[in-house]
Amino acid sequence: MTPLSGIEGISSSFTLAPPAAPAKATDDTAFANSVTGAIDELRSLQSESDALKVSAVTGDLDDIHSAMIASSRAAVTLELVAAVRNKGVDAFNEIMRMQA
């Protein structure tokens, strides 16, 4: 078993689907569409998690596991989007240092 073999199973359940892009999108617009899609997916996961948390607190939720899973998915997706943002900012700063 390779170290990355377990990650493949996890990544299939946490997909960030970008919105449909035009057929002839440039690289920068494709990246922008991917980031926008990831943020939209994050918002969706967070609102689903919040709704399940409210249901759990009010006693309307029979399966607490679904609330915990939704909360974990939202947290992991937030960490992923933040990491991508941080890498993008680091890359931008590095490019700016190269130009100076």
pTM recorded for the entire structure? 0.65
Contact 67, 52 (CB under 8 A): yes
What do you get for the CA distance between the two ends of the chain, in Å? 47
Identity of the amino acid at 4 = L
Q: Could you list the mean pLDDT of each consecutive 10-residue stretch along the chain, which spans 100 residues? A: 44 52 66 88 94 92 91 94 93 91
